[in-house]
Structure 1
Amino acid sequence: MMKKILLVVTNVDQYASGYLKTGLWLSELTHIYHAAKELGWQMAIASPKGGNTPVDPESLKPLVLDGISKKYYENPEFMDELAHTKSLDAVKNESFDCIYLAGGHATMYDFPDNITLQTMLRDQYENSKMVAAICHGVGGLLNVKLSDGEYMIKDKNITGFDWFEETLARRKNEVPFNLEAALKERGVHYKKAFIPMTSNVVVDGHLITGQNPFSSKEMAKVVVRELEK
């Protein structure tokens, strides 16, 4: 059955310090994109402001640039899509089977406080439709409140990039907040992989979260599996 997915990406290209570049972590988009494309599903790529989505240069390094991501990075049509994303305002009234928040440190700046994104995620969740987020994209769930005023993620099983992984990524002094601590403040049941930087995907009803870039492949499989149920 044909499904329709909204893939949400960032517009931010550097940390607040201005010293380092950031952006979308490529594999966190390409694996779900590839899986949906193979199935002939409909997809839209949107960002808070619309327009260009910068790719984090760290996600293009040989150790992390897997075959699928490399293929899409070298595909002019796909890269053109990233250069001309729709704005969230342009898609906010459309209906999607899944809203998927791709990560990258950049999302910590333009996802958490975006009111349009919060409203879309609340409506999606309250209509029992899938909300999925990976790595730092999980930060986009932090401030979503349901109609009853409770945080959407309260008491949910959730994962996301943990603080030790931030140390390993050497970004502790660059990031605007500690994602793991922020999630715990919202009263989530935080679930992390036993070994840092290994795949971990957590499903809680129609809420699906992935811990880090190494969860990209499994995340795509789980989202597809859950949508096909």
Structure 2
Amino acid sequence: MKKLLLIVTNVNQYASGLATGLWLSELTHIYHAAKEKGWVVTIASPKGGDVPIDPESLKPLVLDTITRNYHEDLLFMKELNSSKSLNEVKNENFDCIYLAGGHATMYDFPDDVTLQVIIKNQFEKSKMVAAICHGVGGLLNVKLSNGDYLIKGKLITGFDWFEETIARRKREVPFNLEAAIKERGANLKKAFIPMTSNVVVYNNLVTGQNPFSSKEMAKVVVKELVKTQK
């Protein structure tokens, strides 16, 4: 039985005051896929407790059936808003650590020291580290024991700057994620068509580009974890 740690944000607004939070489908699809396998899932956040949801992720054009069902599930929502803090789970062992996205993660993921330690230890044990969309920002400042940035020289993906234009958030975000990824020496692989699914596997590192990668991301993570059982 696999154990997954799904990490989500606690931030509910941009610096301007505009509402943001977790992009819900980036959590629900991996949660659903893991539960279908009978695996153990823990939801955690930097501070623990309440997890705000980006209202944009609940709009009819992007709200898929699985995500809508979970949003209407009172037990799931109670679990989400009772998230454990990273300090509570930092010494536990997991088969996969998964960083869900949402613009809000750009504020509380990159500089969280506990998050960095958790990811570093996970990666250096050759266990899976996964991140989707803006959640990839949580990998930016993770350094390995040799002092190199974790993503240096790795093939990864993440929400790119043109997609930020499409999302009309270029003036809201605290930094350019695409530029930051490249500054760390990573090789960024973008989808040929913006806002379409793109998942990249590089050894034990799995990344997804955008919310439209949520379903594929869940399938790939499960597939890669099943491989390790054999």
TM over 0.5: yes
Deviation readout 1:70-112 (Å, 9 max, x if unpaired): 0000000000011110000000000000000000000000000
**Deviant stretches of 4+, over 2 Å:** none
- After superposition, residues 204-219 of structure 1 pair within 5 angstroms as 204-219=202-217
Aligned to 1:71: 69
Deviation readout 1:52-85 (Å, 9 max, x if unpaired): 0000000000000000000000000000011110
C-alpha displacement of 1:194: 0.5
Report the aligned-residue RMSD.
0.3
Q: Distance in 2 between matches of 1:152 and 1:125?
A: 8
User: Structure 1: which amino acid aligns with 2:65?
Assistant: G
Aligned to 2:6: 7
C-alpha displacement of 1:188: 0.6
Deviation readout 1:184-226 (Å, 9 max, x if unpaired): 0001110000000000000000000000000000000000000
User: Structure 2: which amino acid aligns with 1:219?
Assistant: M
User: Structure 1: which amino acid aligns with 2:170?
Assistant: K
Aligned to 2:59: 61
The answer for unaligned runs of 5 or more in structure 1 is none
Aligned to 1:122: 120
- After superposition, residues 62-141 of structure 1 pair within 5 angstroms as 62-141=60-139
TM-score by length of 1: 0.99
User: Structure 1: which amino acid aligns with 2:19?
Assistant: K
**Equivalent of residue 222 in structure 1, options 217, 220, 225:** 220
Q: Distance in 2 between matches of 1:214 and 1:52?
A: 25
- The 3-state SS of whatever aligns with 1:173 is coil
Q: Distance in 1 between matches of 2:118 and 2:165?
A: 32
- The 3-state SS of whatever aligns with 1:33 is helix
User: Structure 1: which amino acid aligns with 2:153?
Assistant: D
TM-score by length of 2: 0.98
The answer for unaligned runs of 5 or more in structure 2 is none
Q: Distance in 2 between matches of 1:17 and 1:148?
A: 38
